């Protein structure tokens, strides 16, 4: 079994340099040095002694990962990226919990993680109120919150990592407008989270900028949170069946995420409409299933690998240095053009 000195020898560095990499203290390290250490760790299949680490640091080599529901493939993608990096670079494993965006469930998970010696957690929630998250951090958890910005004017003791949700919806809406669509809809479940609010704002801003605010509607279906994300596609299907019957049926529709957009495409098809000839559809997330739809679905890509890397690095860095100031990281989305959007043809 390889030891830390074997890794140091292979990389041509000191054991303290290897330790810094393993414990998230590589911010000031030369990229070439970091690459050599990571390569040596991978080549030697080095894994830190978890028992020794727990005795030394006082915490278990686990990172808690709280997600709304693993039924959404987007969260599975994020979890895979986080788990791979945490395990291969730092020797940490992931403990996953499904919270269904329920404040009480999130709080109970925080209690359980603390009780089991877990001191680092990444939470995907986007609830408008995160006082319970701040309270958990005050009890000793290192918390990185994904999918929401820091609350304006509030001094936070947790890190925030998110994509620009406003821009995600603005990009999608602007793409429809650029293809001549003037009757627009944004479809989302009832139950506002911070990221949903930002997406709605982005949709409305793009419509207003094009002078289309009078023909842009936000469609909110029944709450999905109490059922989990497995219901999201079915809600999209239900909303599509209603929109298909509208005398002012939108020609361009944005789903709050890809699951909703998948359901919209299915629902329009059930109603005898063609995507994109009769109605164009765009999702947000760019999960791998987007390319398998027929037609392949246009979607807004979130830079998941890059965001996952920052989340893991922030957990490890703040475990190593509790005095490290918290920070906010906002990433930019990009549009992936496929076949579910076409130029709107004026009705004769």
pLDDT digits (tens, 9 = 90+) for 85-131: 999 888 899 999 999 889 999 999 999 999 888 999 999 988 888 99
> Is residue 212 assigned to a domain?
yes
When pLDDT is averaged across residues 279-306 and rounded to a whole number, the result is: 97
- Within a 10 A sphere around the Cβ of 293, how many other Cβ atoms? 21
> Is residue 339 assigned to a domain?
no
- pLDDT value of residue 340: 98
> Is residue 341 assigned to a domain?
no
When pLDDT is cut at 50, 70 and 90, the band that residue 348 belongs to is: very low
Pair 113, 42 in one domain: no
Half-sphere exposure of 190 (CA within 13 A, CB side): 5
- pLDDT value of residue 347: 64
- Give the structural domain span for 24: 1-46
When pLDDT is cut at 50, 70 and 90, the band that residue 28 belongs to is: confident
Pair 69, 102 in one domain: yes
Pair 39, 14 in one domain: yes
Single residue among 285, 301, 317 that ends a domain in this structure? 301
- pLDDT value of residue 55: 46
> Is residue 342 assigned to a domain?
no
Residue 185 has pLDDT above 90, yes or no: yes
> Is residue 6 assigned to a domain?
yes
- Distance CA(142)–CA(156), nearest Å, equals 12
Is 14 buried (19+), middle (13-18) or exposed (0-12) by CB count in 10 A?
A: exposed
Is 316 buried (19+), middle (13-18) or exposed (0-12) by CB count in 10 A?
A: buried
Residue 242 has pLDDT above 90, yes or no: yes
The overall average pLDDT reported for the chain is 90
Pair 157, 259 in one domain: no
- pLDDT value of residue 19: 79
pLDDT in tens, 313-324: 999 999 989 899
Residue 26 has pLDDT above 60, yes or no: yes
For residue 11, what is the domain's CATH number?
1.10.260.40
At residue 119, the 3 state secondary structure works out as coil
- Distance CA(137)–CA(144), nearest Å, equals 10
For residue 66, what is the domain's CATH number?
3.40.50.2300
Pair 55, 128 in one domain: yes
> Is residue 23 assigned to a domain?
yes
- Distance CA(71)–CA(97), nearest Å, equals 12
- Within a 10 A sphere around the Cβ of 276, how many other Cβ atoms? 24
Pair 177, 285 in one domain: yes
Q: How far is CA 162 from CA 65, 123, 184, 281, 316, in A?
A: 15, 11, 26, 24, 18
Nearest CA to 251 among 282, 209, 288? 282
> Is residue 346 assigned to a domain?
no
Single residue among 284, 301, 318 that ends a domain in this structure? 301
- pLDDT value of residue 48: 66
Q: How many folded domains does the chain comprise? A: 3
Q: How far is CA 299 from CA 112, 239, 346, in A?
A: 37, 19, 24
Pair 171, 320 in one domain: no
Pair 176, 139 in one domain: no
pLDDT in tens, 42-52: 888 776 665 45
- pLDDT value of residue 57: 56
Q: Which range, of 147-161, 162-176, 284-298, 299-313, averages the lowest pLDDT?
A: 147-161
Q: Are 207 and 218 a contacting pair, CB within 8 Å?
A: no
- pLDDT value of residue 100: 87
Pair 66, 127 in one domain: yes
Concatenated DSSP letters of 53-106? HHHHHSS-SEEEEEES-TTSHHHHHHHHHHHHHHHHHH--EEEEEE-TT-HHHH
pLDDT in tens, 244-269: 999 989 999 999 999 999 999 999 99
Pair 67, 79 in one domain: yes
Pair 169, 261 in one domain: yes
Pair 55, 42 in one domain: no
Positive or negative, the Cα torsion across 139, 142, 162, 331? positive
């Amino acid at each position: 079994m390889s030891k830390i000195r074997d890794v140091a020898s292979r990389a041509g560095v000191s054991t303290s340099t290897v330790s810094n990499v393993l414990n998230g203290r590589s911010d000031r390290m030369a990229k070439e040095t970091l690459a050599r250490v990571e390569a040596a760790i991978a080549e030697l299949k080095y894994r830190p002694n978890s028992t020794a680490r727990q005795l030394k640091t006082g915490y278990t080599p686990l990172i808690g990962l709280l997600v709304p529901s693993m039924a959404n493939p987007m969260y599975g993608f994020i979890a895979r990226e986080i788990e791979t990096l945490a395990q291969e670079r730092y020797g940490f494993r992931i403990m996953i919990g499904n919270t269904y965006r329920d404040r009480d469930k999130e709080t109970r998970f925080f209690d359980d993680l603390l009780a089991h010696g877990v001191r680092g957690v990444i939470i995907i929630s986007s609830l408008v109120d995160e006082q319970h998250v701040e309270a958990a951090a005050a009890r000793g958890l290192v918390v990185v919150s994904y999918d929401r910005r820091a609350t304006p004017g509030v001094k936070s003791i947790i890190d925030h990592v998110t994509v620009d949700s406003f821009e995600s919806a603005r990009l999608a809406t602007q793409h429809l407008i650029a293809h001549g669509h003037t009757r627009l809809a944004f479809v989302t479940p009832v139950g506002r989270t911070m990221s949903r609010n930002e997406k709605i704002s982005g949709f409305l801003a793009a419509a207003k900028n094009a002078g289309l605010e009078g023909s842009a509607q936000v469609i909110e279906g029944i709450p999905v949170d109490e059922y989990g994300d497995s219901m999201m596609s079915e809600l999209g299907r239900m909303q599509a069946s209603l929109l298909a019957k509208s005398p002012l049926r939108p020609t361009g529709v944005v789903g709050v995420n890809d699951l909703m957009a998948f359901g919209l495409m299915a629902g329009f098809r059930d109603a005898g409409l063609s995507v994109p000839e009769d109605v164009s559809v765009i999702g947000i997330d760019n999960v791998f299933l987007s390319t398998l739809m027929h037609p392949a679905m246009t979607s807004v890509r979130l830079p998941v690998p890059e965001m996952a890397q920052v989340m893991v690095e922030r957990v490890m860095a703040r475990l190593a240095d509790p005095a490290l100031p918290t920070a906010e990281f906002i990433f930019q989305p990009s549009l992936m053009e496929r076949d579910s959007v076409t130029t709107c043809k004026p009705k004769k």
